[in-house]
A and B are shown apart, each in its own frame.
Chain A
């Protein structure tokens, strides 16, 4: 498989890229930090990737998305899948204190994410299809007191992914929407660890299965499918009271 990642120097994206490398996939690494890209590229090479191409690309600079994806396709000789796992995150207190920070998070996680996925979508369709893998979050399944802005961007992203799946699946494009619960990555390092916390490697294994089999939605760890089924069913007055 020839697969491009935006956000694979960290967290779940990194674990997923390593799994792909171990089975010999060709991997393009899109990211903004040249040192992190170079290190991760070496890591994937040693682990067994068929080819590795580091490509500069920043979620904050949408004009670069198309050219970066083209460079990735050139370097790998085509693309079968594109994964977006990069995202911005901030604690609610930081967002409350700084409106500009909140706008930035909303812009990166929604507007720019969609711009990236659109750039990937048209390129995959142009070559007859492929897989678009989008990391959203269970935080997008139901509004919570604690994660209003982050959660709403993820809700938007999930909505977008579903719509693309409905529209483009007949044309050969498969969308895999990933909804992680709490996963112990660098992003969540400062937060108290809740029950059902997952490890990035385990999440990555599940996501790779989903990509291989074309599952449209994957919760990881899987228990979150059940948890969210319950949470989604709770009436508003209950949500007001529970500290979920």
Chain B
């Protein structure tokens, strides 16, 4: 038995984790597959204690890399860090990347991850050419945009509930130089932040904003907008260090004891983070990891929250609802004193193909909340009320505390997803702690 948890450390479940080099074999008896556990809540946890979870950790072989066409096929456990090491020197990068490079291809597909370029590139799934899937009855099949398209669409963002992903084929993005040109622009308040973020998205492929969700009044939601694009030949050298220079210089060696209160941890983290990255205003050329995977510079930073862990809450508030809602949303956060360091704000582009994928046009807000039991639950409930009111939705890869009735209220696509599961897995063999909590699966 192994104690398993997501990146937030809560909840945790005792599971039987199967690890091995042959994914097809490892997955067969499992109710769920798991990558590196970088999703935050219970998405990668088994439906109940003692259930079998397959780990793709050792199933990480590259099966093909077409250096001319930029298409890569690999086993589901292949990590983004490995991909970057292999393809960047050849002039190719993953078309969509999350804030950490310690994720697997399988996890990127199952969460249908979005990046800072969602407004131009869509989700990861938009670039997936094919998936080899082991479905609930043990059969293996190839799916893609033109092969078993419904199953394919349900698998993108399907959180592992449609089948075990064994292989992933993805079309990469060509770059001229492995360096990034970035520009940092401060914003004095929330309205300015959102406006500048939107304006930036019209001119830059990568945009993101960090907001201060703790200050109140006129300074509510002040922060910085960061814009980026790959460098052109005249702007940067043709090579970059293969091993990220910013990776893991600082490490948090153990769970901080519980007497280190969250606000103090938050301040320490902020300090380390800003010192490591010196985000001052202006334009310059930086190593891509510094821009894309800034959080990786502090290894195991989740331990800052101590043994009680933390949850993340990420939602998207639709454009149609208007910007006034965003202000009210932030006011709810400050009212509950949630102590979120790094509140990440992003504007999302068009909805993709994935039946349960997160993004849709609107403003996404991601918060880290130290776990304080009922108080944290109350905050999440309050935030979800906004989400339901505005017609928004939450990101399942981050969620741990949303209630089933709230999820059902915000997710009109559930019936379509259910239909696919009924067709391919009528006995509900594939389940997770998340699907028991949110989809009403048997525990």
Contacts and interface: CB of A to CB of B under 8 A. Distances in A.
B20 interface: yes
Interface in B1-58: 17-22, 58
B20 A46 contact: no
B62 A10 contact: no
B65 interface: yes
Contact of A39 (B58, B63, B86): B63
B61 interface: yes
B64 interface: yes
B288 to A, nearest CB: 20
Interface string A12-41: 001000000000000000000001100110
A83 B27 CA distance: 30
B86 A185 contact: no
A42 interface: yes
The interface residues of chain A, by DSSP majority, are classed as helix
A216 to B, nearest CB: 29
Interface string B196-211: 0000000000000000
A40 B61 contact: yes
Interface in A38-55: 39-40, 42-43, 46-47
Contacts of B17: 189
A91 to B, nearest CB: 15
A194 interface: no
Given A40-B61, A185-B58, A186-B58, A14 B18 contact: no
Interface residues of A, number: 15
A9 interface: yes
Interface size class of B (residues with CB under 8 A): 10 to 19
Interface string B223-236: 00000000000000
Interface in B50-108: 58, 61-65, 75, 86
Given A185-B58, A186-B58, A46 B21 contact: no
Contacts of A42: 61-64
Nearest to A9: B21
A39 B25 CA distance: 14
A11 B60 CA distance: 12
A9 B75 CA distance: 14
Nearest to B26: A186
A9 B62 CA distance: 13
Interface of A: 9-11, 14, 35-36, 39-40, 42-43, 46-47, 185-186, 189
28 contacts: A9-B21, A10-B21, A10-B58, A11-B21, A14-B21, A36-B21, A36-B22, A39-B61, A39-B63, A39-B75, A40-B61, A42-B62, A42-B63, A42-B64, A43-B61, A43-B62, A43-B63, A46-B64, A46-B65, A47-B62, A47-B86, A185-B58, A186-B19, A186-B20, A186-B58, A189-B18, A189-B19, A189-B20
Given A47-B86, A186-B58, 10 more contacts: A14-B21, A39-B61, A42-B61, A43-B61, A46-B64, A46-B65, A185-B58, A186-B20, A186-B21, A189-B18
Q: Top 6 nearest A-B pairs by Cβ distance?
A: A43-B61, A189-B19, A46-B62, A186-B20, A46-B65, A10-B21
